[in-house]
Amino acid sequence: MTTTTTTKDTAPAVPEREPVLDARGVTMRFGGLTAVRDVNLTVNSGEIVGLIGPNGAGKTTFFNCLTGLYIPTEGEVRYKGNVLPPKSFKVTDAGIARTFQNIRLFSNMTVLENVLVGRHTRMKEGLWSALLRLPGFKKAEAEAETRALELLEFIGLKHKADHLAKNLPYGEQRKLEIARALASDPGLILLDEPTAGMNPQETRAAEELIFAIRDMGVAVLVIEHDMRFIFNLCDRVAVLVQGEKLLEGDSQTVQSDERVIAAYLGEPFEGAPGEEEVAEVEAAEAAAEEATAEATAEEATGTDADPEPSDADEATDAATDSTETAAEDTPKAPGSGKENDA
């Protein structure tokens, strides 16, 4: 399977979808450090796109470029054909909503109020309207509340509308953040690690929720570390490594790409650790144990140390090193999914 099967091939396959988000050559430099270099990414309507990459790959920086928190040093981001404004509140107004990697709810507001705040850009009543209770005011408030309650029903939190946001359980706080983002009627929603810290059941529920959001006609761009989640969910996955886009394609392509594996796991020890290597390592370990046993025995008897024991020591070191790396790598293999660490 070749790695060149990227947007060029997939784009014509679904011609009726038009691009919602179009990032071209986005580069972000902080002084001498280039956090994101020349990244292109398109998200089409009705699509769920995943963005993965090891820690520090620049995913969140790229995200912040898309949401107006940062202005890209080079390149431009277009939303439905228009270049994004450089302020985050204007971006939301344009139609891109987001959630945060660390939950950032308004913790001392009620659940309903949180969603109503999310509705801010779609309401136009200003201070005078509020003070004088102009005719449009009540109507707008009632509409906003209806919409907010609809969204709460959608995520299954309607019965908790009057609770304080901070008193919700963790999983529900995540959901509420999504509802708050949806309240601005976005065309694209950016989810920053929506399942971080969730248990497997909650993760599955989140998956269902994101599919439901897609079915509402909202395009989704999601950053996530949980590979199983990403590959189940996404139509396309882009891999970001050291600020550059390594690859983009469907789950299968990305999952089996050697460069992705290398980026996540490091260069393998003389290729993938197969059975032969394992056998070798075991043999080396056994030999090393014998050698050390001999060496200590010899030291105890007080005879001159010959060169053999020191060689054996080196062998032991090498052997343990290789086993350690093998042990570290195996659970992280892509596709096996990162187990929940919460």
Partner 1 sequence: MTTTSENTTAPAAPEPTPAKATGLLPLPLTTARALILGGGALTVVSCFLSWTWTAAFPGDLTVYGYPGGLQWQVLVTGLLTVLFSLSSYGVKGTRWLTPAGADAALKFSALASFATAWYTIVAISVQLGGPINLEPGGAVVGVATLLTLIGTLALPFERPELHPVDPEDDSWSQFRHKAANGWQTFKASFAAGQARTLRPLPSAVEILIITGILATGLGIFTYGIGTEYDELFIGFLITAGLGFAALTKSGLIQQATQLTAKHQNLTIAGAFIAAALFPFTQTDDQYATIGVYILIFATVALGLNIVVGLAGLLDLGYVAFLGVGAYAAALVSGAPTSPLGIHLPFWAAVLVGAGASLIFGVLIGAPTLRLRGDYLAIVTLGFGEIFRITMMNTDGTSGPDITNGSNGIASIPNLNIFGFDFGMEHSIAGFTIGRFANYFFLMLLIMAVVVLVFRRSGNSRIGRAWVAIREDETAALAMGINGFRVKLIAFALGASLAGVAGTVQAHVTYTVTPEQYLFAGPIPPNSAFLLAAVVLGGMGTMSGPLVGAALLFLIPNKLQFMGDYQLLAFGLALILLMRFRPEGIIANRRNQLEFHENAEAPATLAKAGA
In the complex, which residues of this chain contact partner 1 (CB under 8 A)? 67, 69, 87-90, 92-93, 97-98, 100, 103-109, 113, 116-118, 120-121, 123, 125-127, 129-131, 133, 137, 140-141, 144, 164, 166-170, 173, 180, 184, 196-197, 341-342
Q: Which of 259, 191, 252, 262 is nearest to 225 (CA)?
A: 191
Q: Which is nearer to partner 1, 100 or 269 (by Cβ)?
A: 100
Q: Which is nearer to partner 1, 69 or 326 (by Cβ)?
A: 69
**In the complex, minimum distance from the CB of residue 96 to partner 1, in angstroms, rounded to a whole number:** 10
**In the complex, minimum distance from the CB of residue 49 to partner 1, in angstroms, rounded to a whole number:** 20
**In the complex, minimum distance from the CB of residue 257 to partner 1, in angstroms, rounded to a whole number:** 29
Q: Which is nearer to partner 1, 137 or 269 (by Cβ)?
A: 137
Quote the CA–CA distance of 238 and 279 in Å, as a whole number: 37
- Rounded to the nearest 10°, the torsion over CA 144, 146, 149, 150 is -110
Q: Which is nearer to partner 1, 199 or 330 (by Cβ)?
A: 199
**In the complex, minimum distance from the CB of residue 251 to partner 1, in angstroms, rounded to a whole number:** 26
3-state secondary structure of 302: coil
Quote the CA–CA distance of 177 and 165 in Å, as a whole number: 10
Q: Which is nearer to partner 1, 161 or 315 (by Cβ)?
A: 161
Q: Which is nearer to partner 1, 57 or 168 (by Cβ)?
A: 168
Q: Which is nearer to partner 1, 119 or 236 (by Cβ)?
A: 119
Helices (H) and strands (E) in the chain, counts: 13, 10
**In the complex, minimum distance from the CB of residue 151 to partner 1, in angstroms, rounded to a whole number:** 13
Strands, sheet with 219-223, edge to edge from the N-terminal-most edge strand: 96-98, 188-192, 219-223, 48-52, 236-241, 244-249
**In the complex, minimum distance from the CB of residue 246 to partner 1, in angstroms, rounded to a whole number:** 28
Q: Which is nearer to partner 1, 169 or 335 (by Cβ)?
A: 169
What is the Cα 229 distance to its own chain's centre? 10
**In the complex, minimum distance from the CB of residue 121 to partner 1, in angstroms, rounded to a whole number:** 3
Phi/psi of residue 9, each to 5°?
-85, -40
Q: Which is nearer to partner 1, 100 or 211 (by Cβ)?
A: 100
Say what angle helices 170-182 and 135-155 make with each other, to 10 degrees.
140
**In the complex, minimum distance from the CB of residue 183 to partner 1, in angstroms, rounded to a whole number:** 8
**In the complex, minimum distance from the CB of residue 264 to partner 1, in angstroms, rounded to a whole number:** 21
At a CB cut-off of 8 Å and minimum separation 6, what does 290 contact?
Answer: 312
Quote the CA–CA distance of 78 and 65 in Å, as a whole number: 11
Contact 28, 36 (CB under 8 A): yes
Write out the DSSP string of 197-262: T--HHHHHHHHHHHHHHHHTT-EEEEE-S-HHHHHHH-SEEEEEETTEEEEEE-HHHHHH-HHHHH
Phi/psi of residue 34, each to 5°?
-100, 110
